[in-house]
């Protein structure tokens, strides 16, 4: 329901997926020497002849604008296959990872998460001699991941694999639960807002249960670089998983409104992410953000072709289907929930999306949700505190009425947006994502402060 102005395209950045060996990258003319750094290196998975590694780089010195990480591969048979969140290259036994646009600046204490897939013919020992802009990284290098948060203390730790039971989202104990969280903005515009620091803040300070990953398909999104956007989505799934949050993978279709326009892209994308993330317990799939200008029958047809693709790789995860009229259950088109109730998608373990913007959508929309909640499993995968344009003043009264209703009905939600966009719906003031503070009152907008106060209250998930 939000409308993104074309001028925001000037914020678009490259995602930096590189899958070839090449000449060693060198620091650009604006790259300042780092005064110190720390690298945490973890082999996240390994198979015969190959492995995947996560690399977290923390700047311990003065701020840098432009950086190149370099390190040696101790096994002569090791080769770079594919990397993400940086421009990767290999020269001999040396790997380099140079910043991309959205993570170019590293303030003092700031960190960025990278990753790559490698091949090997002999042993797979950990790399040595990490440098950032030519300065040795003397911090610790961890071969194993950091100790997990004590069991049962994170949303995923408590609830485990989710499923739909009746009209509710239920946890591993078959008890209805409500997930509360935030949605990213478009990754092509605000990728710099999504990193280790912002994920830490969301999990620890906001106490969020959920990160919705909004991957636009058009508007400079997935269709322009399928491999790069797929890798970025997977990276954010990992960020959420490491912090015990659920990750909702949103195939963010908006224009054109008929999801069948992107049917082949959806099948390709979901086959990839479902296969890659099938073993995870924290992934939820949202297959069509806001269908509009299209019938429920067409949406249902799309869903019944995409869901089997996901199920082939990941048979257990919850899938969320968008609804007519910008996911309003048809209300914005003059219809109502009866079309879905009377003609549901032919699939199990699914929910239906509902979206609202509090200043625009009030009693008529709340009445539809109240009626539908007794017949359909609903998830509010996106909502705003302002008008449907994403702008205007925060409507505190309507937002509070909505959130109270969702709490009462145990319907989960994700707020639009965890970003510093220059619009009323953003949680952060413009420029916030250039720093590392994502929680203090100084960086929060009125909308951000209101949502943080609601999300950070205890969940009290049932376990018995």
Residues with Cβ < 8 Å from 338, sequence gap 6 or more? none
Half-sphere exposure of 119 (CA within 13 A, CB side): 10
pTM for this predicted structure: 0.71
pLDDT of residue 86: 85
Boundary (domain end) residue, out of 136, 166, 200: 136
Residues with Cβ < 8 Å from 274, sequence gap 6 or more? 285, 309, 310, 312, 313, 314, 317
User: Do 152 and 99 share a structural domain?
Assistant: no
- Provide the pairing of β-strand 210-216 with 105-106: unpaired
**Rg, the chain, Cα only:** 22
pLDDT at 133 exceeding the cut of 70: yes
- Considering the candidates 31, 286, 339, 382, report the single residue annotated as catalytic: 382
pLDDT of residue 127: 84
Write out the H or E segment, with its range, that includes residue 161: none
pLDDT of residue 6: 31
User: Do 301 and 213 share a structural domain?
Assistant: yes
Q: Could you tell me the residue range of the domain that residue 418 belongs to?
A: 148-455
Average confidence (pLDDT) over 242-269: 97
pLDDT of residue 129: 83
Q: Report percent pLDDT > 70 for the chain.
A: 88
pLDDT at 52 exceeding the cut of 70: yes
Would residue 449 count as lying in a domain? yes
Q: Report percent pLDDT > 90 for the chain.
A: 68
Specify the number of domains making up the chain. Answer: 2
User: Do 347 and 219 share a structural domain?
Assistant: yes
| Average pLDDT over the chain, rounded to an integer | 87
> Does the annotation mark 241 as catalytic?
no
User: Do 162 and 48 share a structural domain?
Assistant: no
Would residue 420 count as lying in a domain? yes
- The model's pLDDT over 78-103, given as tens digits with 9 standing for 90+, comes to 888 877 778 999 998 888 999 987 67
Write out the H or E segment, with its range, that includes residue 397: helix 396-409
pLDDT at 460 exceeding the cut of 50: yes
- The model's pLDDT over 394-437, given as tens digits with 9 standing for 90+, comes to 999 999 999 999 999 999 999 999 999 999 999 999 999 999 99
pLDDT of residue 53: 80
pLDDT of residue 27: 36
User: Do 190 and 128 share a structural domain?
Assistant: no
Would residue 338 count as lying in a domain? yes
The SS3 call for residue 359 is coil
pLDDT of residue 17: 33
User: Do 182 and 121 share a structural domain?
Assistant: no
Would residue 1 count as lying in a domain? no
- Considering the candidates 286, 290, 339, 423, report the single residue annotated as catalytic: 290
User: Do 131 and 85 share a structural domain?
Assistant: yes
Cα-based distances in Å from 182 to 4, 194, 356, 444: 18, 12, 14, 14
Would residue 364 count as lying in a domain? yes
Boundary (domain end) residue, out of 81, 114, 136: 136
User: Do 180 and 94 share a structural domain?
Assistant: no
pLDDT at 3 exceeding the cut of 70: no
- The model's pLDDT over 321-342, given as tens digits with 9 standing for 90+, comes to 999 999 999 999 999 999 999 9
What DSSP line would sit under 219-236, residue for residue?
TTSGGG-HHHHHHHHHHH
- The model's pLDDT over 6-33, given as tens digits with 9 standing for 90+, comes to 333 333 333 333 333 333 333 333 334 3
Would residue 165 count as lying in a domain? yes
pLDDT of residue 338: 96
- Closest residue by Cα to residue 409 from 358, 366, 451, 439: 366
Distance between CA atoms of 34 and 433, rounded to whole angstroms? 21
> Does the annotation mark 337 as catalytic?
no
Would residue 3 count as lying in a domain? no
Q: What CATH number should be reported for the domain holding residue 46? A: 2.60.40.290
pLDDT of residue 111: 81
User: Do 42 and 178 share a structural domain?
Assistant: no
Boundary (domain end) residue, out of 82, 109, 136: 136
Average confidence (pLDDT) over 158-170: 96
Q: Per-residue confidence at 145, pLDDT binned at 50, 70, 90?
A: very low
Q: What CATH number should be reported for the domain holding residue 191? A: 3.20.20.80
Would residue 4 count as lying in a domain? no
User: Do 275 and 323 share a structural domain?
Assistant: yes
Which of the two residues, 120 and 154, has the higher pLDDT score? 154
User: Do 401 and 321 share a structural domain?
Assistant: yes
pLDDT at 215 exceeding the cut of 50: yes
pLDDT of residue 190: 97
pLDDT of residue 139: 62
User: Do 159 and 123 share a structural domain?
Assistant: no
């Amino acid at each position: 329901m939000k409308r993104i102005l074309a001028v925001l395209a000037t914020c678009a950045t490259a995602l930096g997926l590189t899958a070839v060996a090449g000449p060693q990258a060198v620091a650009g003319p604006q790259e300042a020497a780092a005064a110190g750094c720390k690298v945490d290196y973890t082999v996240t998975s390994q198979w015969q002849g190959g492995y995947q590694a996560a690399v977290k780089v923390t700047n311990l010195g003065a701020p840098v604008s432009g950086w190149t990480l370099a390190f040696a591969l101790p096994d002569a048979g090791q080769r770079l296959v594919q990397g993400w969140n940086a421009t990767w290259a290999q020269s001999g036994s040396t790997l380099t990872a140079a910043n991309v646009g959205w993570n170019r600046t590293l303030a003092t204490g700031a960190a960025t998460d990278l990753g790559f897939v490698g091949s090997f013919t002999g042993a797979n020992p950990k790399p040595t001699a990490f440098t950032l802009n030519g300065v040795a990284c003397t911090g610790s290098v961890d071969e194993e991941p950091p100790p997990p948060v004590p069991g049962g203390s994170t949303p995923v730790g408590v609830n485990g694999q989710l499923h739909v039971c009746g009209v509710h989202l239920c946890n591993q104990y078959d008890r209805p639960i409500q997930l509360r969280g935030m949605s990213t903005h478009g990754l092509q515009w605000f990728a710099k807002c999504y990193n280790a620091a912002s994920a830490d803040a969301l999990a620890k300070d906001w106490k969020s249960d959920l990160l919705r990953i909004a991957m636009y398909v058009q508007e400079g999104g997935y269709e322009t670089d399928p491999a790069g956007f797929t890798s970025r989505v997977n990276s954010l799934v990992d960020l959420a998983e490491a912090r015990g949050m659920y990750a909702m993978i949103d195939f963010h279709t908006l224009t054109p409104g008929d999801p069948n326009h992107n049917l082949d892209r959806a099948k390709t994308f979901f086959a990839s992410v479902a296969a890659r993330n099938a073993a995870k317990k924290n992934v939820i799939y949202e297959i069509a953000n806001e269908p509009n200008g299209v019938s429920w029958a067409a949406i249902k047809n799309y869903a019944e072709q995409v869901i089997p693709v996901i199920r082939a790789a990941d048979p257990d995860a919850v899938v969320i289907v968008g609804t007519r009229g910008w996911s309003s259950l048809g209300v914005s088109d003059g219809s109502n929930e009866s079309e879905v109730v009377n003609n549901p998608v032919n699939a199990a373990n699914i929910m239906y999306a509902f979206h609202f913007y509090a200043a625009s959508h009030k009693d008529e929309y709340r009445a539809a949700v109240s009626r539908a909640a007794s017949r359909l499993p609903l998830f509010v995968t996106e909502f705003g505190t302002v008008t449907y344009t994403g702008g205007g003043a925060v409507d505190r009264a309507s937002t509070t009425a909505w959130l109270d209703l969702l709490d009462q009905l145990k319907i989960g939600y994700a707020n639009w947006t965890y970003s510093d966009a220059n619009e009323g719906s953003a949680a952060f003031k413009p420029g916030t994502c250039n720093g590392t503070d994502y929680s203090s009152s100084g960086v929060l907008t009125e909308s951000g402060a209101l949502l943080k106060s609601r999300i950070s209250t205890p969940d009290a998930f049932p376990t018995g």
